[in-house]
Amino acid sequence: MKQLPPLALQALVFALVSASFTTIYLVQPVLPVLQAEFGVSIGKAAQTVSMVILGVAISTLIFGRLADMHPVKPFIILGGTVVSAAGVACALAESIDVIIALRLLQGLFIPALTTCLATYLARNLPVERLNVVMGSYVSATVVGGLGGRLLGGWLHPPLHWRWAFVTASAMVLAASLAAVLLLPREERPAETPGSGPGYLELMRRPDLLRTFLAGFGAMFVFASTFNYLPFYLSAPPFSAGTSLITLLYLTYVVGIVIAPLSGKFSNRHGNGLTMILGSATFGAALLLSHVPHLATVCLSLGLACAGFFAVHAAAVGGMNRRLQASRGRANSLYILWYYLGGSAGITVMGLQFKRFGWPGVTGTGLAVLALLLLVGVAERRAGN
């Protein structure tokens, strides 16, 4: 294809992916505000996040397969239009049930932006350029996740959480239009049906199944930890406000540094050891979060991000290095497990938080991380 200048392409990828991930985590810092404003339970308020993640999990395989067989630009503009329109509708909605339904709709169409873009890049870029551009893709997921939390938290109370939806919708629509207008035309033929291992065949591979379990478990703990963090910190002994809680999400930038470093560490010492160290670090962070001192909690969140992104980077990197074909389908499966883990974690931890408070969240998290550590041991024994 006719190539864009490297920086221009990286900027396009960064803009679209970060805007998409901003949408996912937009309301996380203001969940206590939603709970109070609509008079609902903690679990009900948390569905404004978990339903987006569930929607992504449901549709990622569909869009991954469609993108393998058809040009992706129509999917990108469709996804951008639906996600941004649903965001504006959220800003206008007067019912929490309507917002939850609209958030599910957003989740169903976010893979039209992210998964389709990744497939476009893999199909149209030479390997030496793909590695660099995908680095921008991964960094954008981190920045977008952080940006959503900052946007949702810092626009409230100066304006209102509803304005965060409007801003995010404008970002998604602008980035989608830019991608459709500026990305070069696809010149390589799409895959034909039946080429390469199918989803079921990939799922039957023990090494890939371990990878999928690692993504599921890591996101199970990570998403729920940060989802119930506002409720933990807004109560005594911290009694922190929305702005302060939002500020603590800046620890998320640890992932920008840890993800590439973990990849290099895995290349040298193996994915298994990286998963073991990442799981242990994450577990130590959960224990440290119980110290009733805000600075210590901030440190624990940084360690949690370091542990999570170490496991995540090792799992994705190891999977792609082992595959010679069907990488798009394998990555779609990983994303499916990853977001199912996030949705399940938020749901299960909501029940644990309601019954046992923060110890219920961290205790369950430690149990899941123990299983992840065993996955790392199995990877190490397999020579990965």
Name the residue among 226, 219, 212, 217 with its Cα closest to residue 361: 226
Pair (209, 284) in one structural domain: yes
Pair (294, 156) in one structural domain: no
Q: What is the pLDDT of residue 4?
A: 73
Total domain count, the chain: 2
Residues 174 and 76 sit within 8 Å (Cβ to Cβ): no
Exposure string for 88-126, b = 16+ CB within 10 A, e = fewer: bbbbebeebeebbbbbbbbbbbbbbbbbbbbbbbbbbbe
Pair (128, 254) in one structural domain: no
Q: Which range of residues forms the domain containing residue 30? A: 1-190
Q: What is the pLDDT of residue 262?
A: 76
Pair (345, 271) in one structural domain: yes
Neighbouring CB atoms inside 10 A of 47's CB total: 25
Going residue by residue through the chain, which has 384 residues, state the pLDDT in tens, using 9 for 90 and above: 456 777 788 888 889 989 999 999 888 888 888 998 899 998 899 899 889 988 998 898 888 778 877 888 999 999 999 999 999 999 999 999 999 999 999 999 999 998 888 878 777 777 556 655 665 676 677 788 888 877 877 766 566 788 889 999 999 999 999 999 998 887 655 555 556 677 888 888 998 999 999 999 999 999 899 889 888 998 899 988 877 887 887 887 887 778 777 777 877 888 899 999 999 999 999 999 999 999 999 999 999 999 998 898 788 777 767 766 676 677 788 888 988 898 899 889 989 999 999 999 999 999 999 999 999 999 888 877
Q: What is the pLDDT of residue 185?
A: 81
Tell me how far apart the alpha carbons of residues 179 and 11 are, in angstroms, rounded to a whole number.
Answer: 10
- pTM for the whole structure: 0.75
Q: Which CATH number do you get for residue 360? A: 1.20.1250.20
Q: What is the pLDDT of residue 309?
A: 84
Pair (177, 201) in one structural domain: no
Query: Domain ends where: 190, 211, 241?
Result: 190
Query: Domain ends where: 157, 172, 190?
Result: 190
